[in-house]
Amino acid sequence: MTRFRSPAATASPFDVEAVRAQFPILATQAHGRPLVYLDNAASAQKPRAVVEAVSDYYLGKHANIHRGAYLLSQTATRLYEEARERVARFINAAEPAECLFTRGTTESINLVASSWGMQHLGPGDEIILSLLEHHSNIVPWQLVAERTGARIRVIPIDDAGDLQLDAYYQMLSPRTRLVAIGQVSNALGTINPVAEIIAAAHAIGALVLIDGAQWVAHGRTDVQALDADFYAFSGHKLYGPTGIGVLYGKRRLLDAMPPYQGGGDMIAHVSFTETTFAELPNKFEAGTPHIAGAVGLAAAIDWLDALGLEAVAAHEDALLREATTRLAEIPGLELKGTARDKAGVLSWVAVDPPISTLDMGTRLDLEGICVRTGHHCCEPLMDRLGVTSTARASFGVYNNRDDVERLAGALAEVFARARRRPGAERAAAIAETIAYPGAVAASPAAVAEEIRELFEVLPDWPMRYQQLIELGEGLPAMPEGLKTRANFVSGCQSQVYLAARVRPGTDDVIEFLADADADIVRGLIALLQRLFSGQRAADILAFDASAFFAELGLDQHLSLTRRNGLAAMAQRLRELAGLYRPDPDAP
Ligand code: PMP
């Protein structure tokens, strides 16, 4: 399936500056730099029209739907059902009742897995997924497979990130009950030939669920032309609110499926002897739904449709091409995902010099540039690519050439800076001798006072970040031999090893060496080391490290996984200290 590459589409006038003007957030700054938002695959920003539709609804039209005899409730009901009609037109469903509101793609897939899957799957049945899938199109199927005895098969990919369709065709058999596949890979941008995939599955009598999370905002969707049995997507990637999404399903399938959740609004009649269920779509919408979300989603669809999806697709395609060319020019940067047909997603890793994706993301953040780093909820895909994470830029309708320029320029600088640093060989040579660092002051509290003073004179987070990096550069090297499984600290996004011991000749002085593959984490290790290495167990236990890190502002400026990693390291030291604290009651 290709997007819109007709000459008319590419030539269509697309005024990106006028689009940008509708997103107040794009005029804000991050770390004192103008914001460059390149994380649209995770979530898109909202135009004023969407925010106003939601606020108008709450300020003047809100009541609970379906149950009210009064005008306001009828108005809210009408808006909610009009939103459903708008969604149906947007994806060309045969009727609005085939469009169920959910919390998002994840819930849509879980609904099908729980309801259809529990009803139809049994031992020996097969569900086909692909290696490109997001965890939310893997785990719900694993859960249902475990409960029903069904088996999951996985379509492989080639090195470019294209599905190996031959393998898919061979996998199809009378045992195949369902194929669940993403239309666009969130990690690599591959656009899958879903029409072909659906036709082949139907030919052997299997159903197909399409995860359209990464497609709907970037190309036209026609569920009838595709002949999709189920189609899932989220509002927040479509310039709409969070907490609202859609599951499309063919009526005959939805009619035959049992409810997903029980509660108000989804019943026809309830008694303790027998309960009957409402018709579609209410049967699948138990409880008070996200009415404002549906209203906002309809506004987002109106807004996007008015721009013209053809023009949007052509614009994003041009940005992708330019960014691909610019990033490919950076020596040592390796692009991941070079499929024939791609949406506006660009993933890469730094091979030479090796720079952790976390450090790339943090450095770009300090320039005001938002990219995503990590496994992108695609761990099986990362394994196939031979990496644990990538850095990813993903384009939206408001991105412009300046954004691409800023990204490419900042990344080139990140690489240049890393190249200027002392080589890994030198660090390895130093690491031949094991030198556990001793105490830098009388107690953790005294060290904390010094660090506090240091941070106080640094006025902003970019400078503090730089300071942390410099501290990290001074870390005593950790010999490779100490980087064992036992010394691995889980809970950190990067690879962290920590080897602690009681100083020989003492009963309770704890010292440690640690290392990580990311500069920012090495900086945090350096902080911990200054605080704790060479200190007495009782003093370590008496010091509240998490309160201290919060006071430094680290909890505001580090992502949750990094904070958890820091906490995991501190916890490991506390556990060790706990073992060696002299027992006050000992004789
Ligand atoms: N599938 C894909 C391909 C996605 O990219 C995402 C979001 N990253 C999801 C599913 C899950 O979407 P949500 O979190 O909105 O439910």
Ligand 1 atom nearest to CA at 236:
15
pLDDT of 4 higher than 50: no
Distance 220 CA to ligand 1 centre (A): 18
Angle at which helices 291-307 and 309-328 pack, to 10 degrees? 80
Give residue 47's pLDDT band: very low, low, confident or very high (50, 70, 90).
very high
Residue 108 in contact with residue 246, Cβ under 8 Å? yes
Residue of the CA atom closest to atom 4 of ligand 1: 213
Distance 135 CA to ligand 1 centre (A): 8
DSSP 122-134: -TT-EEEEETT--
Mutate to test the pocket of ligand 1, among 39, 43, 186, 394 (most ligand atoms within 8 A of CB): 186
Distance 105 CA to ligand 1 centre (A): 6
Summarize pLDDT for 535-552 with one digit per residue, the tens: 998 898 899 888 888 888
CATH pick for 49-306 out of 3.40.50.300, 3.40.50.2300, 3.30.450.20, 3.40.640.10: 3.40.640.10
Domain 431-580, second-level architecture: Alpha-Beta Complex (3.90)
Which residue in the list 99, 377, 378, 492 is annotated as catalytic?
377
Distance 385 CA to ligand 1 centre (A): 20
Give residue 367's pLDDT band: very low, low, confident or very high (50, 70, 90).
very high
**The tokens of 364 are what?**
């770009």
Q: What is the mean pLDDT of residues 274-292?
A: 94
Distance 76 CA to ligand 1 centre (A): 28
Residue of the CA atom closest to atom 7 of ligand 1: 42
Mutate to test the pocket of ligand 1, among 105, 191, 379 (most ligand atoms within 8 A of CB): 105
Summarize pLDDT for 99-138 with one digit per residue, the tens: 999 999 999 999 999 999 999 999 999 999 999 999 999 9
Ligand 1 atom nearest to CA at 182:
3
Residue of the CA atom closest to atom 12 of ligand 1: 105
Q: What is the mean pLDDT of residues 91-98?
A: 98
Give residue for tokens 């239309």.
183
Taking CB atoms and a 6 Å cutoff, what residues make up the pocket around ligand 1? Answer: 41-42, 104-106, 134, 136-137, 182, 186, 211, 213-214, 234, 377
Give residue 501's pLDDT band: very low, low, confident or very high (50, 70, 90).
confident
Ligand 1 atom nearest to CA at 237:
15
Q: Give alpha helix (H) positions in 250-372.
A: 251-256, 291-307, 309-328, 357-366
Distance 2 CA to ligand 1 centre (A): 21
Distance 43 CA to ligand 1 centre (A): 9
Residues 6 or more apart in contact with residue 284 via CB below 8 angstroms: 100, 111, 115, 247, 254, 259, 260, 266
Ligand 1 atom nearest to CA at 105:
16
Distance 217 CA to ligand 1 centre (A): 13
Give residue 583's pLDDT band: very low, low, confident or very high (50, 70, 90).
low
Summarize pLDDT for 221-273 with one digit per residue, the tens: 999 999 999 999 999 999 999 999 999 999 999 999 999 999 988 889 999 99
Domain ranges in the chain with CATH number 3.40.640.10: 49-306
Mutate to test the pocket of ligand 1, among 39, 102, 103, 106 (most ligand atoms within 8 A of CB): 106
Ligand 1 atom nearest to CA at 106:
16
Q: What percent of the chain has pLDDT over 70?
A: 94
DSSP 18-82: HHHTT-GGGG-EETTEE-EE-BTTT-----HHHHHHHHHHHHHT---SSS-SSHHHHHHHHHHHH
pLDDT of 407 higher than 80: yes
| Closest among 97, 84, 90 to 251, alpha carbons compared | 97
Distance 488 CA to ligand 1 centre (A): 30
Go through the chain and tell me how many residues it has. 587
Give residue 555's pLDDT band: very low, low, confident or very high (50, 70, 90).
confident
Mutate to test the pocket of ligand 1, among 134, 192, 247 (most ligand atoms within 8 A of CB): 134
99 is an active site residue: no
pLDDT of 423 higher than 70: no
pLDDT of 7 higher than 70: no
Summarize pLDDT for 462-491 with one digit per residue, the tens: 888 888 888 888 888 888 888 888 888 876
Residue of the CA atom closest to atom 8 of ligand 1: 42
Distance 98 CA to ligand 1 centre (A): 21
Summarize pLDDT for 333-354 with one digit per residue, the tens: 999 999 999 999 999 999 999 9
The pLDDT score that the predictor gives to residue 8 is: 41
pLDDT of 316 higher than 90: yes
Compute the C-alpha angle 192/194/196, nearest 5°: 115
Mutate to test the pocket of ligand 1, among 377, 381, 394 (most ligand atoms within 8 A of CB): 377
Give residue for tokens 């940008």.
20
pTM for the complete prediction? 0.89
Ligand 1 atom nearest to CA at 107:
16
Ligand 1 atom nearest to CA at 234:
15
Ligand 1 atom nearest to CA at 377:
8
**Cα separation of the two ends of the chain:** 79
The pLDDT score that the predictor gives to residue 413 is: 96
Three-state DSSP class for residue 538: helix
The pLDDT score that the predictor gives to residue 425 is: 53
Residue of the CA atom closest to atom 6 of ligand 1: 213
The pLDDT score that the predictor gives to residue 9 is: 42
CATH superfamily of 3-30+308-420: Aspartate Aminotransferase, domain 1 (3.90.1150.10)
Domain ranges in the chain with CATH number 3.90.1010.10: 431-580
Residues 6 or more apart in contact with residue 11 via CB below 8 angstroms: none
